Amino acid sequence: MKLSIGTVRPCTVPTPKCVTAAVKPITQTPKSAKLGKRWMEYQGARNWEGLLDPLDDNLRDEILRYGHFVGATYNAFDFDPSSPTYANCRFPKHSLFHRCGLPGTGYRVTKNLHATSGIKLPRWISKAPNWVSNQTSWIGYVAVCQDEEEIARLGRRDVVVAYRGTATCHEWLENLRTTLTHLPNVGLDGRTEAEPQPEPMVARGFLSLFTSGTAERRSLREEVRDEIGRLLQSYGDEPLSLTITGHSLGAALATLTAYDITTTFRNAPLVTVISFGAPRVGNRGFRCHVEKCGSKVLRIVNSDDLVTKVPGFVIDEDEDDDVSSKCKGQDKDAINVAGLPSWLQRHVENTLCQTQWVYADVGRELRVSSRDSPYLTGPTTNLATSHELDTYLHLVNGFLSSKCPFRKTAKKMFGRRGAEKASVLR
């Protein structure tokens, strides 16, 4: 999502003109180093231990590579409300990457994905302009690595699911539905029913976009399940990874997708989420289920990005605590609700299982900050800029470690993107 302050802005809906102006071209990064047998480590098999601070150069390249896949979802989306293909993909699958400035990925798009809002609007809304009444829109794609050299470099065949952020009126309305709702039972093996409390709950609006469908269009969840099932049948006998990536709303949908895949397919390969600017998705029970089912989640978070701090309160827990003890409800003394006075914090703790506003962040976090970049200063540094996907890629490209947060060589990234982009962010 490339709009104002991002996915969960509660006050206004930007005009399509704002959206179009915010979309900027991206270019492919040079080929990265060979990952070889360490590919599972870079996909999070060990929760990225020793790779985040300082940031490993190979992991940096992989994060940027997946960020460019997300960028393609913005560049391929038709933001023009006067267009007959509004809210659809502008390019055919076979040329999508080339048309989006990513000719050398080695991947081929195999499936277009669509999200449908479950909000029931008045009947008269059908007479409104298309950009208001459109209920279903193109949200991203599934792509498979087909290039033998790239497969050899990666150490496996990789499947990418990439999602854009919020763009349509219905999606903005869904973003406002932030109370937690029970996660439907999913999967073939009954793991959801067998798990102890707390019960997993997720944001109502995100779940609606993931599970809603119409007579003409199946739900996003069904589209992904069908395509992943087909690909597992085709490539399941070789080293395979599923990488789900997204920005803003797309990051939230990526987390839901990872959970659904690992609970639907008994022998799913390693499932990894690389998210940029993700809002909070669910409660502690949801986080525990995601982690127990084996999904690996790496959240790229800009400290200056408001979207990553909403919705609801957040549980701030010691990352060194044992995950299993957290999920069994044995960590009450370690729970802190960020930013609350002690008396209110105790009240929230006492009602933790009942409240619909207590969220928990999922996975490992790579935290960057716009304030650390010498190129993100002045009047252009605002809430909108902090949430931009381009800003996230710039900050990841420049980040070294918590002690030395930015490297001057990050300026080279803008050199590749063109003088116009560089002048905007200086």
Residues serving a catalytic function are 248, 305, 387
Exposure string of 213-226, with b = 16+ CB inside 10 Å and e = fewer, is beeebbbbbebbbe
Quick one: CA torsion of 52, 54, 56, 60, rounded to 10 degrees?
Answer: 70
Q: How buried is residue 288: exposed, middle or buried, by Cβ count under 10 Å (0-12/13-18/19+)?
A: buried
What's the rounded Cα separation, in Å, for the pair 366 and 144?
26
What's the rounded Cα separation, in Å, for the pair 244 and 362?
14
- Measured over the CA atoms of residue 13, residue 14, residue 20 and residue 22, the dihedral's sign is negative
What's the rounded Cα separation, in Å, for the pair 395 and 372?
8
User: Are residues 375 and 394 in contact, defined by beta-carbon separation less than 8 angstroms?
Assistant: yes
What's the rounded Cα separation, in Å, for the pair 188 and 387?
37
What's the rounded Cα separation, in Å, for the pair 305 and 75?
22
Unique residue bearing structure tokens 């055919």 = 92
Beta-carbon contacts of residue 116 (< 8 Å; ≥ 6 apart): 135, 136, 209, 212, 213, 214, 217, 219, 220
Beta-carbon contacts of residue 97 (< 8 Å; ≥ 6 apart): 72, 103, 105, 107, 109, 143
Return the closest-CA partner of residue 140 out of 44, 224, 260.
224
